[in-house]
Structure 1
């Protein structure tokens, strides 16, 4: 059932529950303090809950306990410091302490792509659930929040049954996350929906109580937060289905960019025109170098793998092409680079030796320091492999980029990266790059040539400033 809250319509009765700890509100724990778990832990403390964030990584826990967010997310640092000071939030490497403290335990560990295939690696989930279950001393609710293959919740129930004392009555539920990096604080405090997969009224009541702070905030702001109460499988499928749809939409417009490139069309105008159709909408219709990050690439591959295991592989065969289109846009940047630099693009790619290329952007998107599967960094590495002297700059992702691609050269500023460059490639749409002065940059560069890998620059301004401009899917 879908419950819009707040609403003028009568709400289905959601049972009032008393947290097993006896506290006035459920005490919450978040197992895994990476991007997902740390953000949720901090934001739910801001909503007034008592929270513990748990992780086996002592260095990460020490940073968080000291008031330092170990990744870049706008607004999160201030919330962390405020809630540590208020005493509502703490961090621990002690699984027994975490188990005893919490009423509701959210599993937020990573589910990376397996090294031996496309499926998801659930070893971190298994370790977290097993370790927690062995130390529980009273009834509790274990809630999956990580993105997992459908069927994982049932498997977790089996793990809990094996490792927790049977007479405790520990239950399992599922509640997927929908965080957008760069907007995660708003996504937790003011979500566009909450989805819960439950089997019992008690689990439903506990999850409602765990999110009451979200609903109360919405009521004060006269907003509606739809609450979708469903089964395990549907709750698990919601996140991967959403990511598959978004990935498909991005690859669709990039496929149209390929057509525009050979037909002489302009994909930015095409996207604008079809985006006015309310059935389509204009979000995720920005053609460019493709999607990356820690979610979309691995999730669509794991979704395909799980569908194949279930005998429904044909239904998701199109996601293979979505993935191929996405990866193909990276090689398109090399083609444009070779064209602008007057180099031949052969079967093995271009020979760019003797050229200097500035790459502006290393993260997969702006307002983040996440370089996981970042198209920008992959293109920078490919340009370097082709023989170019590549200079990389990113406003937030330099540390992570250095660890991911130590063979590249990194500069301290945009100006330093552009100075002496024969070609500039804008591959992440940071505001600093979008708003850069093409005249000033032209005075620093050796050659006024630019590849706009995100179609984020004003092509007219750059052309007027004397730059040879190439966009993705643009004439």
Structure 2
């Protein structure tokens, strides 16, 4: 059932439920204060809810409690400090405190790729649920937000039944998240949809009450927030299906870039032309290094693994090729670097020794400090392995990148990174890089050669300033 809210039509009846704590609104907890949980905890406090953010990481909790977000997300620091000061938000490392406080407990822990295969590691979900459940002393709703294989909600139900007092009637639901790093505050406060998988009217009513602040904000701004009320399996599949679709769309245009490179076409004009078709659209249709980050790569692999377990592996075989296309775009930069630097390519790849290369960008996308599975960082590692002296700069991701690749040289500015370089590689489309002055940079480099790994530069402007320019899928 999909319910648009607000709407000119009356809302279907959603049962009014009273929070078991006796509070006027449900008290919310978010277990796991990484990117997902911390963002939701802070934003729901901003919507007026009483919130606890829980984590076993004492250092992380201490940092949040002191008013500092341990990752970069625009606008979140200010909201954190405001809601700490207002008393609506606090953080804890105590399962007991969290259990006693909350009416609705959201599981927001990581589900990384397993070390021994493509499937998702659900150990953090299990730890959160089995840590919380024994401390519950009244009826509550445990809601999964983490991205998980289909069937996880039923398994969580079994864990809750095994580890919580039987007479409390603890219930489980699933409500996937759809955060985009760099835009996460808006995505929580003004979501484009809310999906809930429930088994009872009570759970439906509690989740509606837990999101009423979102609906009320939408009403004041005369917006609609579709509410999709469905079953466990569908709710779990929504997020992985959405990520699989986006990954496929990105890899499709990168496959077209490969064709353009051998046919002499321009993939930027191709994507613009097909993007005018409303059935296709132009979002996520920009060729470049491909996708990365903490979600898409591991989610499409886990989706394939789970489909195989369920006997539907043939249905998702195409995702294997999506993954391969994505990874191939990273090696394309190495090939372009060898061409621009006129270096021999042997059986082991190009020899770039004796060259200084500036890498601009370490994060998987702009407006974040997240370098997990970042194509830019993978390319930087390839360049260094080929013998290049790599100097890297990212406006927010330097420190995280340094922890991942400590042997590279890290610079504190774009100018310092490109100084005396033989080649500049723009690998993350930060605004500072997109808007850089090619004339001024041309005065300080060793050679005017640039690889535009995100097709984000004005090629005419750069070639006009004397640069030897190479884009992805461009002549």
Q: Taking structure 1 as the reference length, what is the TM-score of the superposition? A: 1.00
SS of equivalent residue, structure 2 residue 91: strand
The residue that corresponds to 1:235 in the other structure is 235
SS of equivalent residue, structure 1 residue 225: coil
Superposition map of 1:83-122 within 5 A: 83-122=83-122
Structure 2 unaligned residues grouped into runs of 5+: none
The residue that corresponds to 2:415 in the other structure is 415
The residue that corresponds to 2:316 in the other structure is 316
User: Hey, what's the Cα distance between the residues in 1 that align with 2:10 and 2:374?
Assistant: 46
Superposition map of 1:191-210 within 5 A: 191-210=191-210
User: Hey, what's the Cα distance between the residues in 1 that align with 2:276 and 2:210?
Assistant: 39
SS of equivalent residue, structure 1 residue 391: strand
SS of equivalent residue, structure 2 residue 226: strand
User: Hey, what's the Cα distance between the residues in 2 that align with 1:23 and 1:444?
Assistant: 63
The residue that corresponds to 1:401 in the other structure is 401
SS of equivalent residue, structure 2 residue 443: helix
Residues 220-273 of structure 1: CA distance to partner in whole angstroms, max 9, x if unpaired?
Answer: 000000000000000000000000000000000000000000000000000000
The residue that corresponds to 1:430 in the other structure is 430
Residues 186-211 of structure 1: CA distance to partner in whole angstroms, max 9, x if unpaired?
Answer: 00000000000000000000000000
User: Hey, what's the Cα distance between the residues in 1 that align with 2:382 and 2:438?
Assistant: 25
The residue that corresponds to 1:365 in the other structure is 365
Structure 1 residue 101: Cα displacement: 0.2
The residue that corresponds to 1:246 in the other structure is 246
The residue that corresponds to 1:14 in the other structure is 14
Does 2:302 align with 1:302?
yes
The residue that corresponds to 1:459 in the other structure is 459
User: Hey, what's the Cα distance between the residues in 2 that align with 1:326 and 1:75?
Assistant: 31
Structure 1 residue 345: Cα displacement: 2.1
Structure 1 residue 338: Cα displacement: 0.3
Structure 1 residue 7: Cα displacement: 0.5
Does 2:5 align with 1:5?
yes
Structure 1 residue 10: Cα displacement: 2.1
User: Hey, what's the Cα distance between the residues in 2 that align with 1:345 and 1:324?
Assistant: 22
User: Hey, what's the Cα distance between the residues in 1 that align with 2:347 and 2:279?
Assistant: 41
Structure 1 residue 9: Cα displacement: 1.2
SS of equivalent residue, structure 1 residue 238: helix
The residue that corresponds to 2:161 in the other structure is 161
SS of equivalent residue, structure 2 residue 424: strand
User: Hey, what's the Cα distance between the residues in 2 that align with 1:341 and 1:182?
Assistant: 35
Residues 371-393 of structure 1: CA distance to partner in whole angstroms, max 9, x if unpaired?
Answer: 00000000000000000000000
User: Hey, what's the Cα distance between the residues in 2 that align with 1:472 and 1:352?
Assistant: 20
User: Hey, what's the Cα distance between the residues in 2 that align with 1:436 and 1:457?
Assistant: 9
Structure 1 residue 473: Cα displacement: 0.1
CA RMSD in angstroms, aligned pairs only:
0.4
The residue that corresponds to 2:78 in the other structure is 78
The residue that corresponds to 2:225 in the other structure is 225
Superposition map of 1:163-178 within 5 A: 163-178=163-178
The residue that corresponds to 1:347 in the other structure is 347
Structure 1 unaligned residues grouped into runs of 5+: none
Does 2:278 align with 1:278?
yes
Structure 1 residue 408: Cα displacement: 1.0
The residue that corresponds to 2:181 in the other structure is 181
The residue that corresponds to 1:25 in the other structure is 25
User: Hey, what's the Cα distance between the residues in 2 that align with 1:81 and 1:48?
Assistant: 14
Structure 1 residue 419: Cα displacement: 0.1
Residues 260-292 of structure 1: CA distance to partner in whole angstroms, max 9, x if unpaired?
Answer: 000000000000000000000000000001100
Structure 1 residue 346: Cα displacement: 2.6
The 4+ residue runs of structure 1 with deviation greater than 4 A are: none
SS of equivalent residue, structure 1 residue 444: coil
Residues 3-32 of structure 1: CA distance to partner in whole angstroms, max 9, x if unpaired?
Answer: 000001122100000000000000000000
Q: Taking structure 2 as the reference length, what is the TM-score of the superposition? A: 1.00
The residue that corresponds to 2:290 in the other structure is 290
User: Hey, what's the Cα distance between the residues in 2 that align with 1:201 and 1:360?
Assistant: 52
Residues 25-65 of structure 1: CA distance to partner in whole angstroms, max 9, x if unpaired?
Answer: 00000000000000000000000000000000000000000
Structure 1 residue 417: Cα displacement: 0.3
User: Hey, what's the Cα distance between the residues in 1 that align with 2:439 and 2:335?
Assistant: 25
The residue that corresponds to 1:332 in the other structure is 332
The residue that corresponds to 2:69 in the other structure is 69
Q: How many residues align?
A: 475
User: Hey, what's the Cα distance between the residues in 1 that align with 2:409 and 2:399?
Assistant: 12
